[in-house]
Structure 1
């Protein structure tokens, strides 16, 4: 392989996220929200053309009711937390699934004034633990492939190694995606049963 596993892991920038300390104590206008996200997640972009967050995205999230309505064109800390969660979820889940997942949370924030700090801190803690586990699992997969392909004298050994790593990572991603979708489906099924009683 052209890159070793540690270099690949380093380039993934799994430590880029929006912490509670990064969120200002004042409400932000849309342009400020975009700048904050671009700054915090810049290292996680696949290429320079990729946009972390745009006005269109934020407007679509608002129209889709992925977060509760803003006041005076300003976004609160709770909005930023929800937008951060949407950003983390959107590459894996459909917008419809995200809406189903965040809908009850939005309602509690909007109607009851729920403070999202503890929930978000727990999310970030789990994210850090997951990143560590992912790095460890990826390293183990690389080592297994290295040992399996060590004896191979094929000219395309690097290509085989890369292909097998990519398929392994895609499989792991797919397993977790399906588990998340199953939990959302179970949540929606429970809601339907509760409303039909």
Structure 2
């Protein structure tokens, strides 16, 4: 089995869609999918996993996770929101993502989404650096009778940590829903 450091490096956790990598023209759906596949292909679990599909984008639009699309073209702001959805969907439900992004979608005319997204990228880079170090430190002391049992112990410990973060994020979403008087499903 691979060393934990090698596994962490293979995850390409620092892969991000940056505002600079988005063209300054509106894109059609197929172009959006190509951009996301190119950006995040090294971050997928396997070659069969799709980063983004037409169905996903249509569901985001129908579910009002995105402000309205104009003439079947997606603006830079749409792509930034889709990127945030991509980051959030691994942990939160679609309803929680909708709640989280509702005020952003409502304030698109007044909001500097690119600046907000740049702040997110800074936090994300910091999280990757600290997260890798934290995982390596926490897992270094965990061992069991065999290599396989140690591996399983690492998996269970990481899943437990993930659950702590997910549950905390869900509580924060609930607080946001209460503050904005949004219905909870």
TM-score (norm 2): 0.95
Q: By how many angstroms is 1:12 displaced?
A: 1.1
For residue 141 of structure 2, what is the aligned residue in structure 1?
144
Between Structure 1 and Structure 2, how many residues are aligned? 182
Q: Tell me the distance in 1 between the aligned counterparts of 2:16 and 2:147.
A: 32
Moved over 3 A (4+): none
Q: By how many angstroms is 1:62 displaced?
A: 0.2
Alignment of 1:5-154 (within 5 A): 5-109=4-108, 112-145=109-142, 148-149=143-144, 154=145
Select the structure of larger CA radius of gyration.
1
Residues 143-163 of structure 1: CA distance to partner in whole angstroms, max 9, x if unpaired?
112xx55xxxx4xx1111111
Within the alignment, does 1:163 sit opposite 2:152 as a pair? yes
**8 A Cα contact 1:9 1:135, kept in partner:** yes
Secondary structure in 2 matching 1:92: coil
Q: Tell me the distance in 1 between the aligned counterparts of 2:124 and 2:55.
A: 27
- What is the aligned-residue RMSD (CA, Å)? 1.3
**8 A Cα contact 1:5 1:139, kept in partner:** yes
Q: Tell me the distance in 1 between the aligned counterparts of 2:35 and 2:158.
A: 30
Q: By how many angstroms is 1:26 displaced?
A: 0.7
Residues 61-102 of structure 1: CA distance to partner in whole angstroms, max 9, x if unpaired?
000000001111110010000000000000100000000110
Q: By how many angstroms is 1:115 displaced?
A: 2.3
Within the alignment, does 1:178 sit opposite 2:160 as a pair? no
Q: By how many angstroms is 1:141 displaced?
A: 2.1
Q: Tell me the distance in 2 between the aligned counterparts of 1:45 and 1:192.
A: 36
For residue 3 of structure 1, what is the aligned residue in structure 2?
2
Which 10-residue stretch deviates more, 119-128 or 2-11?
A: 2-11
Q: Tell me the distance in 1 between the aligned counterparts of 2:178 and 2:14.
A: 35
Please state which structure has a larger fraction of its residues in helix: 1
Secondary structure in 1 matching 2:27: coil
TM-score (norm 1): 0.89
Within the alignment, does 1:190 sit opposite 2:179 as a pair? yes
